[in-house]
Amino acid sequence: MRVVARTLPGTASCPSCGIPSDKVHSRYQRRLADVALAGRRLVIVLSVRRLFCNQRACQRRTFAEQVPGLTVRYGRRTPLLRAVLEQVAVALAGRAGARLAGQLQARASRSTMLRLLLALPDPHAATPRVLGVDDFALRRGQVYGTVLIDCQTSKPVELLAGREAQPLADWLRAHPGVEVICRDRSGAYAEGARLGAPDAVQVADRFHLWQNLGKAVERLVARHRDCLRPPTPEPVAPQPLAQPAPPPEESAQSDQPEPVGQFAERARRHHAMVHDLVAQGHGVRAIARQLGWGRHTVQRYARAASWQELVDGKWQDTRTSKLDPFKPHLRQGFQQGCTNAAELYRQITAHGFAGSYGLVRDFLEQYRSSPDPIAPPAPTVRAVTGWLTRHPDSLTADERSQLQAILVGCPQLGLLPATSAPSARCSRGSAARSCPGGSAPFAPTICRGWARLPLAWRPTLTR
């Protein structure tokens, strides 16, 4: 939707000298985007005058007239539309704000939304009664700054360049009224607070108190890291070697039932056929040509005294092996503690064994017991520190059992739960406000790291 308008005759003031003028130089058109009307984009085509400045001392010769509430210098949006886009930019910033502006029929790019947001003046902040001071890194290890927080509203107040005492002292002098300064252990911030607000009370915030307590506990746990290892399980007593059953006697073999089945029946029939032909005087080659078999097959049947010898080994007892003469030596060496198969293989090879290493290895496998259980890995120093400093109710059952075993095995670590656990309960939310006098007294003698805490901080932990 387009609205065409023009300004009425009259006087307009020069923006430089403020002298009104009605002497027209020329006219030109301006296109102004306005808020949507009935869901449609609205554009105002406004014809404005360019006037002469009658003041000879003014450096401006001509100027364009402005319509109050409708136009601003170099502006292509009305003040009303600009205010709408600024509110959208404050809420959604760049890309999301640009998408919402498009739905409101006020198209703007993400760069425009960010530019409008950055052009807004900083809101006026009253001097906080409780001021939080801490540093932050613009480039870690190189460039740092100082952030000031209103601890009662949890909103940032100011950003200062560097983390020295002078910028903080200057800001405190320019903003009197700070009663409590909550800071970390930095000596520069202590000096700046003393110079800028000598009447303010300096306190340590709960985060840094808890952080320093955690570091002290971690140093103590690190010095007793040997107590963190779980006890090594006792090795299983070696069992005596089981002697393999001796081979059955020939008499026992004769008592075994004969093999049955399709293969056994075929072997019996073929054995009888070959031996009948041999008894008739036929040679091996002639029998092979007559039966259509291979010569070696006929030889195997002819050389077998009985058909049972032709049956596959799965119907027979354990066959003889190259390793049989050396098995007593292998058993004796294994019983005496030499369980290395390669070493035993080299010993029997020196005595004439011509078999492979695999035969020795497979034979010794029957005597090997299950390996000793592997001890679980010891918990890390950070893990144990977390168990000691976290709220007891947040520990799992497994963590409680591991912690209990460590505390039983290390008396010095056993003193820590009496100090750190109450601190954990009194360091969160409403529990911190309802815990009278803070946490339980911390025992300085159990941790040399306690001596590194500032003297002014220890009463805060021990009250």
- Domain segments of the chain: what residues? 2-76, 81-119, 130-204, 258-319, 322-369, 377-462
Mean pLDDT by 10 residues, the chain (463 residues): 89 89 91 89 91 89 90 90 92 90 90 91 83 90 91 88 91 90 86 90 82 86 83 53 48 57 82 90 90 90 84 57 88 87 91 89 81 73 88 87 86 68 51 42 39 40 35
What's the pLDDT score for residue 414? Answer: 74
pTM: 0.43
The predicted structure's pLDDT at residue 448: 42
What integer pLDDT is reported at residue 89 of this predicted model?
Answer: 92
- 3-state SS of the chain is CEEEEECCCCCEECCCCCCEECCEEEEEEEEEEEEEECCEEEEEEEEEEEEECCCCCCCCCEEECCCCCCCCCCCCECHHHHHHHHHHHHHHCCHHHHHHHHHCCCCCCHHHHHHHHHHCCCCCCCCCCEEEEEEEEEECCCEEEEEEEECCCCEEEEEEECCCHHHHHHHHHHCCCCCEEEECCCHHHHHHHHHHCCCCEEEECHHHHHHHHHHHHHHHHHHCHHHHCCCCCCCCCCCCCCCCCCCCCHHHHHHCCCCCCHHHHHHHHHHHHHHHHHHCCCCHHHHHHHHCCCHHHHHHHHHCCCHHHHCCHHHCCCCCCCCHHHHHHHHHHHHCCCCCHHHHHHHHHHCCCCCCHHHHHHHHHCCCCCCCCCCCCCCCHHHHHHHHHCCHHHCCHHHHHHHHHHHHHCHHHHCCHHHHHHHHHCCCHHHHHHCCCCCCCCCHHHCHHHHHCCCCCHHHHHC
pLDDT in tens, 338-383: 888 899 999 999 989 988 999 888 888 888 765 656 667 888 989 9
